[in-house]
Amino acid sequence: MNVFGVDIGGSGIKGAPVDLERGDLVEPRHKVLTPHPATPESVADGVVEVVRHFGWSGPVGITFPGVVTGSVIRTAANVDKAWIDTDAGQVLGERLGLRTTVLNDADAAGVAEMAFGAGRGRKGTVFLLTFGTGIGSALFMDGKLVPNTELGHLELDGHEAEKRASTKVKEDADMSWHHWAHRVQKYLAHLEMLFSPELFIIGGGVSRKADKFIPLIEGIRAEIIPAELQNNAGIVGAAMSAAGR
């Protein structure tokens, strides 16, 4: 069964049809840059471009970088504040002319990793953390999602955690892997103090380079492993949501 998934991020909007039996993309994903300002109208243009690139005409699942209740956006940290209180499902569905579902981006990535990736079969308390423009979080208790945790916005050293330890911060400050890994370590230690998880799954594009920083993280009791679906996890999880999984 193939369903389309779109992942809206702070820097890019990417999507592809997904084979939900394998949890993998049917075709290479198509990506456009996230517009600035990332208003509902301009982001909708990008989503339409991605979906129409494939000539898709079925259901579409879409992730959003913020709290989503039903399909209404409640927070918008890395996109335009005009999204807040917007019914994204209605706006994007009308623009596409297709049935759409909308969910938090890290939740989508987490659902995909728990079904098809590094979290398969794992019980207890598990975190999927996506490091990119910001930091996304998905929390699972015995395989069940606790939605919209958005723990990248926890305070760390007097700042939002994602303002200290996101991949964007590393790149903007040209940090060494060692320096950045120390910041990630402090963030994981804070989450561990609050939630005592058994497993951290590190996702986002930086997971492709997990060998450069995960071995540098010390003093964390939980197991730390890279995501297996890497930066495709959000697309897969969005498609799963559209299919009711």
Across the chain, mean pLDDT equals 97
**Torsion sign (Cα): 22, 226, 135, 9:** negative
Percentage of the residues of the chain whose pLDDT score is greater than 70: 100
Query: Are 16 and 54 within 8 A, CB to CB?
Result: yes
For residue range 33-42, list pLDDT tens digits in order. Answer: 999 999 999 9
Task: Give residue 75's pLDDT.
Answer: 97
State how far the alpha carbon of 72 is from the alpha carbons of 3, 83, 103, in Å.
22, 9, 9
> Residues 178-194: what's their mean pLDDT?
98
Domain boundaries, the chain: 2-107+233-242, 121-231
- The owner of tokens 């991949």 is 167
Indicate whether 58 pLDDT > 90: yes
Rounded distance, CA 17 to CA 60, Å? 9
Indicate whether 115 pLDDT > 90: yes
Please tell me the number of Cα atoms within 13 Å of 100 on its side-chain side.
Answer: 27
For residue range 137-166, list pLDDT tens digits in order. Answer: 999 999 999 999 999 999 988 999 999 999
Indicate whether 77 pLDDT > 90: no
Task: Give residue 143's pLDDT.
Answer: 97
Percentage of the residues of the chain whose pLDDT score is greater than 90: 95
Same fold for the domain at 2-107+233-242 and the one at 121-231?
yes
Rounded distance, CA 30 to CA 32, Å? 7
Rounded distance, CA 26 to CA 55, Å? 14
For residue range 202-227, list pLDDT tens digits in order. Answer: 999 899 999 999 999 999 999 999 99
Contacts of 28 (CB under 8 A, 6+ apart): 16
User: What value, to the nearest 5°, has the Cα angle with vertex 134 and ends 132 and 135?
Assistant: 85
Task: Give residue 78's pLDDT.
Answer: 87
The CATH superfamily label for domain 2-107+233-242 reads: ATPase, nucleotide binding domain (3.30.420.40)
Query: Are 5 and 15 within 8 A, CB to CB?
Result: yes
Q: Which CATH entry fits the domain spanning 121-231: 3.50.50.60, 3.40.50.2000, 3.30.420.40, 3.40.800.10?
A: 3.30.420.40
Cis amide linkage into residue 37, ω under 30° from 0: yes
Q: Which residue type sits at 127? A: F
Indicate whether 231 pLDDT > 90: no
